[in-house]
Amino acid sequence: MNEQEVMKEKAILVGCQLPHVSDERFSYSMEELAALTKTADGTVVSTVTQKRNRVDAATYIGKGKVDELAVLCEELSPDVLIFNDELSPSQLKALVTTLDVKIIDRTQLILDIFAKRARTREGKLQIELAQLQYALPRLSGQGINLSRQGGGIGTRGPGETKLETDRRHIRNRIHEINVQLSTVIRHRSRYRERRKKNGVLQIALVGYTNAGKSTWFNRLTDADSYEENLLFATLDPMTRKMMLPSGYSVLLSDTVGFIQDLPTTLIAAFRSTLEEVKEADLILHMIDSSHEDYEGHEETVKRLLEELEADDIPVLTVYNKRDRKRPDFIPSSGRGHIMTSAKIDGDLPLFKQAVEDYLKKELLVPYDVRIPASEGRLLSRIKSETMTNSTVFDEDREAYEVEGYILPDQNILGELKKYM
């Protein structure tokens, strides 16, 4: 065992399966909780599950299971118990009192990972806001957790000292963060408006966490977004220029990965970041075709896009990792999908060509103009602001015949209409 393994916290996972959740979905959910624990630098030493008609109002799981957990804690001495659901403040307080061990839930685990991953000032502010909003109603139930100094899973971000202060201080801090974030939101909004005015086409890359978005983002844009085989490897959004085969440039945004049961506090906190998705002209929805629950992942992302009111934006579905796709894989998106893999060299040009073809078919309108050679400035704008197919010089007319595609609401279209 190396030193890093020794430092990892030992965790017991706890899940409760309700009647509306199938065995398969529950199994995937518990596997995902284990993956989240690994991402938060924890080691799973045991898993405890229970089937119930409804969760216990007092302790989430039944009294018998609580007793079983107490014996397991004696035997394994875990550092933390992680519940696969959001615990109410009273449930958390009752469990902490009975079991005398640090307890966190799925929401707190996800918040913890986000706190670890945040790099930009905006990302850190959004995480702190989500953590404080989550902590506020749970202050009284956190006594034992907060008295244990030394960090660990579920204690990153605002930290113990902030959570030990009174509610008024936390509310004041929430207000401060909201004020700071509103400035960032205004700046981001102005930046988006400028891009729209300049007629720059915007594409958002979305998908379930760990679907391969950042890997493809790096290939498509020559960027250096963080990529690793972990959940939520990317947190802070990045926007870079992507060159299509025709030479037309678009802006591609990498976004935070979605996940089932994504905490509502996170959706609210990251709304300004997720605005990049809402403002996009096209969404590239990336799905890991090698994952057992790829259909569930696809549905989760679609549901979250509906919540963000972004479900009316055209979507090109990208089934990734085709080199490892499941034998029973069937593309569920009948209209507008491609199969690809970042590990296959020839797939990069094919991916870009598919994006260009989709834009021509779904978003852009064709144009055919004859521009006098004297209109050098307009010709330059046509080259940079539209997707040109061909440019031929007619010596007799001393004009350029240009064919291409353009966004229907683009400013330059008015000028082009004079020469159609």
Cα separation, 81 vs 20, in Å, equals 24
H, E, C per residue of 214-234: HHHHHHHHCCCCCCCCCCCCC
Same domain, 233 and 340: yes
Q: Is 404 annotated as a binding residue?
A: no
Whether the Cβ atoms of residue 343 and residue 219 lie closer than 8 Å to each other:
no
| Rg (the chain; Cα; Å) | 25
Helix count and strand count (H, E) for the chain: 16, 13
Q: Is 186 annotated as a binding residue?
A: no
pLDDT per residue, tens digit, the chain (420 aa), is 444 444 789 999 999 999 999 998 899 899 989 989 998 889 999 999 999 999 999 999 999 999 999 999 999 999 999 999 989 999 998 999 999 899 999 988 988 888 887 777 777 888 888 888 888 887 754 443 443 444 567 666 555 554 455 678 888 988 998 898 888 778 777 877 777 666 788 899 998 888 888 889 889 987 555 555 555 545 556 788 899 999 898 989 887 777 776 766 677 666 656 777 888 899 999 999 998 888 888 888 888 888 878 888 999 999 999 999 988 888 875 567 899 999 998 999 999 999 999 999 999 999 999 999 999 999 998 988 899 999 999 888 899 999 999 988 888 888 888 888
Q: Is 321 annotated as a binding residue?
A: yes
Same domain, 31 and 56: yes
Q: What's phi and psi for 157, nearest 5 deg?
A: 85, -125
Same domain, 276 and 322: yes
Residue 42: which CATH number? 3.40.50.11060
Q: Is 211 annotated as a binding residue?
A: yes
Residue 391: which CATH number? 3.30.1370
Q: Is 351 annotated as a binding residue?
A: no
Q: Is 280 annotated as a binding residue?
A: no
147 vs 4, 101, 418, CA distance in Å?
25, 11, 74
Residue 59 maps to a domain = yes
Whether the Cβ atoms of residue 326 and residue 294 lie closer than 8 Å to each other:
yes
Give the model's pLDDT for residue 182. 84
Domain of 271? 199-360
Residue 349: which CATH number? 3.40.50.300
Q: Is 343 annotated as a binding residue?
A: yes
Locus of tokens 């809402």: 278
Same domain, 131 and 80: no
183 vs 179, 180, 276, 319, 337, CA distance in Å?
7, 5, 16, 37, 38
Residue 150 maps to a domain = no
Q: Is 254 annotated as a binding residue?
A: yes
Whether the Cβ atoms of residue 81 and residue 10 lie closer than 8 Å to each other:
no
Same domain, 212 and 329: yes
370 vs 207, 334, 373, 385, CA distance in Å?
42, 39, 9, 17
Tokens of 108: 């707190």
Same domain, 267 and 330: yes
Q: Is 213 annotated as a binding residue?
A: yes
Residue 329 maps to a domain = yes
Same domain, 186 and 60: no
Helix (H, G, I), strand (E, B) or coil at 20: coil
Same domain, 246 and 372: no
276 vs 253, 273, 308, CA distance in Å?
7, 6, 11
Domain boundary at 194, 214, 241, which? Answer: 194
Give the model's pLDDT for residue 415. 86
Residue 253 maps to a domain = yes
Domain boundary at 360, 381, 405, which? Answer: 360
Q: Is 322 annotated as a binding residue?
A: yes
Same domain, 218 and 347: yes
Q: Is 257 annotated as a binding residue?
A: yes
Cα separation, 15 vs 87, in Å, equals 11
Same domain, 344 and 212: yes
Q: Which residues touch 40 (CB under 8 Å, ≥6 apart)?
A: 109, 112, 113, 116, 153
Residue 15 maps to a domain = yes
End-to-end CA distance of the chain: 73
Nearest to 294 by CA among 321, 314, 267, 316: 321
- What is the dihedral sign for C-alpha 122, 191, 220, 337? positive
Q: Is 47 annotated as a binding residue?
A: no
Q: Is 212 annotated as a binding residue?
A: yes
> How many domains does the chain fold into?
4
Same domain, 275 and 210: yes
Domain boundary at 147, 175, 194, which? Answer: 194
Per-residue b or e along 51-61, where b marks 16 or more CB atoms closer than 10 Å to that residue's CB? eeeebbebbbb
Residue 205 maps to a domain = yes
Whether the Cβ atoms of residue 399 and residue 372 lie closer than 8 Å to each other:
yes
Same domain, 259 and 314: yes
190 vs 176, 197, 202, CA distance in Å?
22, 10, 15
Residue 410 maps to a domain = yes
Tokens of 149: 């100094």
Q: Where are the alpha helices (DSSP H) in 313-375?
A: 347-362
